[in-house]
Chain A
Amino acid sequence: MTASASARPARPQVRVRTFGITLALVAFTVFAARKVGFSPSTFWEVWTNPLWEKFWPIPWGWVFDGDNVIQPLIETLQIAVLSTIIGCSLALPISFAMSPLTTPNRPTYLVSRAVMNVVRAVPDLFWAKLLVTALGIGAFAGAWALSVFSTAVMVKLFSETIDNANPGPLEAARAAGGRHAPVVRTGVLPDVFPAYVSYALYVLELNVRASVVLGLVGAGGIGRVLEAQRQFFKFDRILGILVLIFVVVWVVDHLSVALRKRLV
């Protein structure tokens, strides 16, 4: 009798702590939803709002008319490419300083790590706004902001790759009596360089997306046009610009993914 009773496993008990955490999360969610102004009815009203009709039809004549959209869009891509090049070049030495495997000395390691953590915690558009205030409105400030931000992202990704690099060649080069820079260049760089190029392409994707919105805070590119049309309530033009942005981002993403697949 007892054998058949024990054949059925005991039902797992919900622990008091699990219950407490769940309750706290639910309470926080309800509180946050109230603060944000969310409720099922507001969620539904968004999709039935009559304003959506203002987004249609798209004025393609205006969108493709010379300087309106195409010129700023090219400026956007220029910002993205330039800041990727600057950011990734700066990131290369900093990443080597930030990995315990290749750092020249301990103070460099600690300082670069702490500084880069803070730089990364500031969102990209905050950098843009700060630099717009410092350098004036325009693409110059935008390119600077994105360079700083892509350095921070690249350093994070790449230094972790260096951490996991094979230390064998490095030790061999050190044992042969090499100085620090040549040792790193010949011992580690060949091992991690494919990853570096692949991350650089990924950062380019991020930068294309980020440069699109830079103009909303006055840092040049297509966002400037978006901001202007938004203030005049030209929603149909906004949708037209969005379609163009979408196509550009999509093309860059697919090119970059295809290239990265061949690299790794």
Chain B
Amino acid sequence: MVPPAFGRVYERGAVGKIFESVYIAWIGTLIGAILSLPLAFLAANNVSPRWIRTPVRQFFNAIRAVPELILAVIFIPITGLGPWAGALAIGIHSIGTLGKWATESIEGIDSGPIEAVKATGGQWVNRMRWAVIPQVMSTITSYWLFRFEINVRASAVLGMIGAGGVGSELVSHLVFRDFPAASAVLILTVVVVMTIDTVSANVRRRIIVGSVGDRDSSRWSEAWTDLTGLRRKTSPAP
């Protein structure tokens, strides 16, 4: 495995493959987000009647029980080998978790604004738009980002069965017992995954907490601590 053959791997276009994994994860997350958001409103017990929400919830549970790779196994013969099968598999699988999380955050809202909109004569759609969405959208956006982090790992794996992305590189190097190249691919993947995790965790913290507190330094030093376990020397607060 040592030393990793970065030069050879780069010439074969492994960096492009890693970015392909990121694109797959991004498109998959978007498909999941767009399809799950309306369903989440139908599944929440404070804004939806029982006869609609029970089947929608069962639908979420059913989707969550099928792993992405299994979905990719189904989709590959339909779409052909390539990144589109991976994006579709990730998108469909994401509906389950994203829908569940969004439903839970809708159920946790304050009911006052809903009653206020109702009192002014708003229909169901108006209540959702003006009373529910302003309360939940920041949380739901941060869930989308969190799911994107998970999906980056998932899409790296999907390449192993031919659904596009970096997995195929790793498999082909390991099959030919080319361990230096395999370790280079592995290291590149780990670096990209950890970078995306760190950036996304910071954006999420910012969405939820806001940019209060002293500027960037505290957030970045926290991220740095998360990543490495090392604690930077922070200047004392004035």
Pick from B26, B61, B65, B82: contact of A32, CB under 8 Å: B26
Inter-chain contact A110/B229, CB cutoff 8 Å? yes
Known: A37-B83, A226-B73. A213 touches B67 (CB 8 A): yes
Residues on the A chain within 8 Å of B167, using CB: 125-126
Residues of A within 8 A of B186 (CB): 122, 126, 130
Selected contact of A38 from candidates B87, B189, B227, CB within 8 Å = B87
A230-B72 Cα distance, complex, nearest whole Å: 11
Given A121-B197, A233-B77, are A32 and B70 also a contact pair (CB < 8 Å)? no
Q: A122-B189, A129-B174 are in contact. Are A235 and B77 (CB under 8 A)?
A: yes
**13 new A-B pairs (CB below 8 Å) besides A32-B26, A37-B83?**
A36-B87, A110-B229, A114-B229, A117-B194, A121-B197, A123-B189, A125-B69, A126-B189, A129-B160, A130-B186, A209-B65, A226-B73, A242-B74
Complex formed: what's the CA distance from A133 to B174 in Å? 7
- Give Cα distance in the complex from A52 to B157, angstroms: 25
The docked-state distance in angstroms from the alpha carbon of A226 to that of B77 is: 14
B: residues with CB less than 8 A from A are: 20, 22-24, 26-27, 30, 61-62, 65-67, 69-70, 73-75, 77-79, 82-84, 86-88, 153-154, 156-157, 160-161, 164, 167, 170-171, 174, 177, 182, 186, 189-190, 193-194, 197, 226-230
Whether A36 pairs with B24 at a CB distance below 8 angstroms is yes
In the complex with contacts A114-B229, A129-B174, A121-B194 CB distance below 8 A: yes
B160, B164, B177: the one within 8 Å of A217 (CB):
B160
- Chain A positions near chain B (C-beta within 8 angstroms): 28-29, 31-33, 35-38, 42-43, 46, 49, 51-52, 54-55, 109-114, 117-118, 121-126, 129-130, 133, 209-210, 212-213, 216-217, 226, 230, 233, 235, 238-239, 242, 245-246, 249-250, 253
In the bound assembly, the distance between CA atoms of A125 and B171 in angstroms comes to: 11
A35-B23, A117-B229 known; A245 vs B30 contact (CB < 8 Å)? no
Q: Which of B65, B186, B189 has the most CB of A within 10 A?
A: B65
A51 neighbours in B (Cβ, 8 Å): 77-78
Instruction: Please list 13 pairs of residues, one from A and one from B, whose beta carbons are closer than 8 Å in the complex, sorted by A's number.
Output: A35-B83, A36-B83, A38-B87, A46-B88, A117-B229, A121-B194, A121-B197, A123-B156, A125-B157, A216-B73, A238-B73, A242-B66, A245-B70
CA of A226 to CA of B153, assembled, Å? 22
Closest 8 CB pairs of A and B: A113-B229, A32-B23, A37-B84, A213-B69, A125-B157, A123-B153, A249-B65, A121-B190
Tell which of B69, B154, B156, B228 touches A114, judged by Cβ atoms closer than 8 Å.
B228
Which of B77, B79, B157 is within 8 Å of A123, CB to CB?
A: B157
Q: Are A253 and B65 in touch, CB under 8 angstroms?
A: yes
Contact status A210-B83, CB under 8 Å: no
> Count of A-B contacts with CB under 8 A?
128
Which among B160, B189, B230 has the highest number of chain A CB atoms within 10 Å? B160
CB distance from A245 to the nearest CB of B (A): 7
Name which of B20, B69, B193 has the most chain A CB atoms within 10 A of its CB: B69
Given A36-B87, A129-B170, verify A246-B160 contact (CB < 8 Å).
no
A124–B154 Cα gap in the complex (Å)?
Answer: 9
Contacting pair A33 B27 (CB below 8 A): yes
- Bound complex: CA of A125 vs CA of B163, how far in Å? 14
* Minimum CB–CB distance for B95 against chain A, Å: 14
Asked whether B67 lies within 8 Å of A210 as measured between CB atoms, the reply is: yes
Residue in B closest to A235 when the chains form the complex, CB atoms: B77
From known contacts A242-B70, A250-B65, infer whether A29 and B154 are also in contact, taking CB-CB under 8 Å.
no
A216 to B88, CA, bound (A): 19
A232 to B76, CA, bound (A): 14
The answer to whether A36 and B157 have CB atoms under 8 Å apart is no
Distance A33 CA – B62 CA, assembled complex (angstroms)? 27
Knowing A36-B164, A37-B82, A212-B67, say if A230 contacts B193 (CB, 8 Å): no
A246 to B193, CA, bound (A): 29
Q: In whole angstroms, how far apart are the Cα atoms of A130 and B157 in the complex?
A: 12
Complex: chain A residue closest to B229, CB-CB = A113
Complex: chain A residue closest to B77, CB-CB: A51
- Per the bound structure, the CA–CA distance linking A52 and B78 in Å amounts to 8
